[in-house]
Amino acid sequence: MKLKYNADTQLVFQIGDPIEHSCSGFLHNTMYDIANVNAVCVMVKIKKGELPQFIESVKLLGANGFDITTPHKTDIIQYLDECDDGSRIFKCVNHVKLREGKLIGIGLDGVGMGLAIENLTGGPGSLKGSNVLIIGAGAVAGPISADLSERGAKSIFVANRTVDKAEYITKQLNNMYEIKTGFGKLENNYLSYCAPESDIIVQCTSLGLPGHSGSFESFDFMKKLPRHCIVTDVLYPTTDFLEAAKSLGLKTINGMGMLLHQQIAMIDFRFGIKLNTNCLDIAEESLVAAIAIRELHEQRKANKKTK
């Protein structure tokens, strides 16, 4: 066992609610080892509304900062001293560092998903001219839409249960890029309308997340997708959404791709260290191990309930 933690160890928190399902902390600690930094990531459950107290604790402890998952990616922005324009516009930050008493935030989900899709489709430039369907308009949908626009997407259509949120994303994209956009309600009719022209689909809702009771109305729209369509999900290791796509022979990417590819950018942001993509093989092994451990813990809990 590698023992390096001491008084100089930089403390980083992974916060969210629920947090039990997240494997990010395990992965971040692996990345710290790869980058050879004296730091440790600790998972902490912080409920919605508890950010002010948590931030005071971070400052008191002199921590390096914290990483964020649901439900804080938007709420954190009001407490930041500095934030990049894209993350502020789309209201999504998932990494925060504390420097000289100031909180500096950035959102890297878009970069992670964009790189994951690009690597599957042939590398830089391979997304130019593609038509993208974004399902959901939550915290990660805007940054992912923006990153895919940066990589050359020709159109972005957004489907969401609350149509106003989908419209907001498309308006911001229109302000930032020369791109065709559209929006509609998250229902089978609209998804079926978008499907025939879609080269890429990114599922950005919490449907399929452990503990979430919601589900899709139908997956019938997938039958209208082109055979070359790439179907992705921000959740991992798999969801009913991805399984439906696989059953039709479509290529899929789960949220592991997004999470893995943003690690290089995260290490640069937090520690100023630049890594190359070769390290992602080790990172992927670590994430797979974390998922296996999570599944084992869940099985043990289930077994105790049946006794």
Looking at residue 1, what is its pLDDT? 42
Give the integer Cα–Cα distance in Å for 169 and 184: 12
**Residue with the two structure tokens 């109305």:** 217
110-253 has the same fold as 10-107+263-295: yes
Q: Where are the domains of the chain?
A: 10-107+263-295, 110-253
CA dist., res. 106 & res. 96, Å (int): 7
Within 10 A of 272 (CB to CB), how many other CB atoms are there?
A: 8
Query: 136: how many CB neighbours lie within 10 A of its CB?
Result: 24
Residue-wise burial string across 278-297, b where 16 or more C-beta atoms lie within 10 A, e elsewhere: ebbeebbebbeebbeebeee
Rounded CA separation 134/144 (Å): 9
Please state whether the predicted TM-score (pTM) of the whole model is above 0.75.
yes
Backbone angles phi, psi at 235, to 5 degrees: -95, 160
- The half-sphere exposure of 120 on its side-chain side, counting CA atoms within 13 A, is 20
Cα angle value 184/137/124 (rounded, 5°) = 100
Domain 110-253: CATH superfamily is: NAD(P)-binding Rossmann-like Domain (3.40.50.720)
d(CA 72, CA 176): 25
Tens of pLDDT along the chain (307 residues)? 455 788 899 999 999 999 988 889 999 999 999 999 999 999 999 999 999 999 999 999 999 999 999 899 999 999 999 999 989 999 999 999 999 999 999 999 999 999 999 989 988 999 999 999 999 998 899 999 999 999 999 999 999 999 999 999 999 999 999 999 999 999 999 999 999 999 999 999 988 665 565 678 899 999 999 999 999 999 988 999 999 999 999 999 999 999 999 999 999 999 999 998 889 999 999 999 998 998 898 889 889 888 7
CATH 3.40.50.720 for domain 10-107+263-295, yes or no, is no
